[in-house]
Chains A and B, each alone.
Chain A
Amino acid sequence: MLPTISSFALGILFGLGLSISEMTDPARVIGFLDIAGRWDPTLICVMGGALAVTLPLFPWIQKRQKSLLGEPLQLPSQTRIDARLIIGAAIFGIGWGLAGLCPGPALANLASASPGIALFVLAMIAGQWLAIRFGSR
């Protein structure tokens, strides 16, 4: 029960961060990616602000054996930079550039009740399902 409550609370904090930084607006994201147009540096500030917290604190937390709720820390174990990683990141980047939406802002935007956003999220879940179903190692 406790992990679910803290997860909910931190999801809210994350969603507030995405909204305040206006990363929920695809125009902000496409403005950042559009280096040949009117470049919008807002996303740099968001990444910078987030990394200013995570970069110094993650190594310190990673030394712990267990989380505050007593669960073992679950960190990614893969270290190899392979074709699957690069091809996947490239496909994601193309989709990101086409709509200006990545998974966090897309989900947060469900709050707008926009049918287009709901379509994007359904397609994203379908894409994940395809990758899990047919692309497993």
Chain B
Amino acid sequence: MAEANLYGGLIGGLLIGLAATLFLLVNGRIAGISGILAGLITSKFTSEWFWRAAFVIGLVCGAAIYAWLRGALPLQHQAGNALLVLAGLLVGLGTRLGSGCTSGHGICGLARRSPRSLAATATFIACGILTVYLTRHLF
């Protein structure tokens, strides 16, 4: 991996925070990506379904605009297909049981001063660190 991208990280982070804040102000909703996606499975084809789909399509379009301006998306490392399927299943299962992911718990939940989100964020970061340690340094 190249050098840390501190400025890009900070600017990107500010934009993410701004998007989450405006989403609460304008739409009255928490910008938790796993929750928005899960609602596409559970909600009927009403306005509820459409704003959720619009957000997901917007996410893809935002990344596509970046790729168009900069030539490519930053996507250097990618796991093998079998590992990607296993990881995807775990991420889907875990974010539903745990009611949120990095955005819902990590960015919005902490901003709401939610002890649940703090506990969830600490848990998924700790388990992520442990998983990387086991897969990179022990096995």
Contact A72-B28, Cβ < 8 Å, known A8-B55, A15-B60: yes
Q: When the two chains form their complex, are residues A18 and B128 in contact, meaning their CB atoms are under 8 A apart? A: no
Complex contacts, A107 vs chain B, CB 8 Å: 33, 37, 56, 59-60
In the assembled complex, the Cα of A97 lies from the Cα of B34 at a distance in Å of: 17
A18 touches B59 (CB 8 A): yes
Give the interface residue-count category, chain B.
35 or more
B75 to chain A, nearest CB (A): 5
Residues A97 and B128 in contact in the complex (CB < 8 Å), given A19-B67, A120-B87, A122-B88: yes
How far apart are the CA atoms of A16 and B65 in the complex, in Å? 8
B residues less than 8 Å from A58 (CB atoms): 21, 24, 108, 111-112
DSSP class of B's interface residues: helix, strand, loop or mixed? Answer: helix
Bound CA span A52–B20, Å: 12
How far apart sit A127 and B19, CA to CA, in the bound complex (Å)? 26
Interface residues of A in 62-76 (CB under 8 A from B): 62, 64, 66-69, 71-76
- Is B128 a contact of A96 with CB atoms below 8 Å? yes
Chain B contacts for A42, CB-based, 8 A: 4-6, 8-9
Q: From DSSP, what is the main secondary structure of chain A's interface residues?
A: helix
* Chain A CB within 10 A, most for which of B67, B76, B87, B127: B87
Q: Which of B19, B112, B114 contacts A10 (CB under 8 A)?
A: B19
| Number of residues on chain A facing chain B (CB within 8 A) | 119
Q: How far apart are the CA atoms of A87 and B120 in the complex, in Å?
A: 9
Within the complex, the shortest CB–CB distance from B118 to chain A, in Å, comes to: 9
**B85 contacts across to A, CB distance below 8 A:** 119-120, 123
Contact with B along A13-56 (1 / 0, CB 8 A): 11111111111111111110111111011111111111111110
Contact at B60–A97, with CB atoms within 8 Å? no
Given contacts A14-B16, A81-B119, A119-B88, contact A57 B5 (CB under 8 A): no
The residue on B at minimum CB distance from A135 is B97
Q: Which chain B residues in 83-112 approach chain A with CB under 8 Å?
A: 83-99, 101-103, 105-112
